Structure 1
Amino acid sequence: MAGKISEIGQELKQVLFKRAKLLDGLLPPILFLIAFSSAGFVAASLLALALAFILGVARIVRGQPIW
């Protein structure tokens, strides 16, 4: 049982941290869709761009490539 929990933990780390580009690419459009439905186009666009900028800066600070 402990082995399976450890394996699940390793899989979760791999998905969340080694595939960060996937999350970095998905989060701004998801935020845009959520914000667009409640705040309108301009606010949603600004929020999505701000999040993309923050994620890009975070990747640069960590020394990861942005492409």
Structure 2
Amino acid sequence: MNSALQKSSSIFRTAAMQVRHTSVTRYIGTPPQVRISTAEKCAHIAVIVGTILAGPAWVLVHLQDYKK
């Protein structure tokens, strides 16, 4: 029983190491091929922040309506 458990754990360990290795190799550590301007980065950040804050802002604006 003990040897079967050791063998299965070693099989799972090697499978997990192979999966981890393939996922890490997809990252590229080189400089970007296409540069994104600062204005475009700021616009994207503004859209993301606006989207995140839109829901809570809507609730706060309509809080009196929800209390009725």
TM-score tier, shorter chain, comes to 0.3 to 0.5
Which of the two has greater helix per residue? 1
Higher relative contact order (CA 8 A, sep 6+): 1
**TM-score normalised by L of structure 2:** 0.32
Task: Work out which of the two has the higher radius of gyration on C-alpha atoms and give 1 or 2.
Answer: 2
